[in-house]
Amino acid sequence: MIITRKKEREALLAMLRGVRRAALVGCASCAAACQTGGEKELEETKAFLEDHGIQVLAAVLPEECCHKMLVKRDLKALRGLELDAVVCLACGDGVQTVADNVALPVYPANDTLFLGQVERVGIFHEYCRMCGDCVLGATGGICPVTRCAKGLVNGPCGGQKDGKCEVNPENDCAWILIYRRLERLGKLDSLLIPAGQRHEHAHPAHLNLREGAK
């Protein structure tokens, strides 16, 4: 799940300086789960903007704001409206998807934080940076790129204290977690296999599952 948090209201208003008429676009998937872009948040943002002199002419809630075709379909509701801008209550991907489909400025109401594990409602943990070089098979299913503050892939730095990270003492040392899990699984020999150098990837990346399909 893509984890987002609401921007400070003052920061949102600063972006919208000069805007008098706007539409809102939320996301019924990740942002709704993060309580940053669901129906309730659309209503709250509408009330807030109108209290500050910005008329909200429409609000739409795509099932997934990162899905180009769904967004394109739902944005038809904005046709014919005299708008100065669109405010998007989704992740950065959703904001860009909306911007690809309207000839208007699109402003983010949220900050995008990380790809997260959902522990329970309202509690999320960063587990993956989507780096494209997955080493989880050798590290017991614990990602050193994400869960080590230094992103070390060939072992610990030696700076841990009492099992805690020297960069952020609130976090467990990822490599101690990796060692203990591999020990429990009887797979400590995995640590003898160097992870090697991480590959550089060209950005933006693309994946087309239709290529070569028959």
Q: What is the pLDDT of residues 68-123, one digit of tens each?
A: 999 999 999 999 999 999 999 999 999 999 999 999 999 999 999 999 998 988 89
pTM of the model: 0.86
Domain match, 136 and 186 both: yes
Question: Cα–Cα distances in Å, from 82 out to 21, 35, 36, 73, 78?
Answer: 7, 29, 26, 19, 9
Domain that holds residue 143: 129-192
In percent, the amount of the chain with pLDDT more than 90 equals: 77
10 Å Cβ neighbour count for 131?
15
Domain match, 107 and 133 both: no
The CA-based angle 63-69-75, given to 5 degrees, is: 70
Burial zone of 195 (CB within 10 Å; 0-12 exposed, 13-18 middle, 19+ buried): middle
| 202 belongs to a structural domain | no
**Number of structural domains in the chain:** 2
The secondary structure of residue 34, as a DSSP letter, is: T
Domain match, 134 and 40 both: no
Domain match, 6 and 108 both: yes
Q: What is the CA radius of gyration of the chain?
A: 22
Q: Find the CATH number of the domain harbouring 35.
A: 3.40.50.2300
Amino acid at 39: E
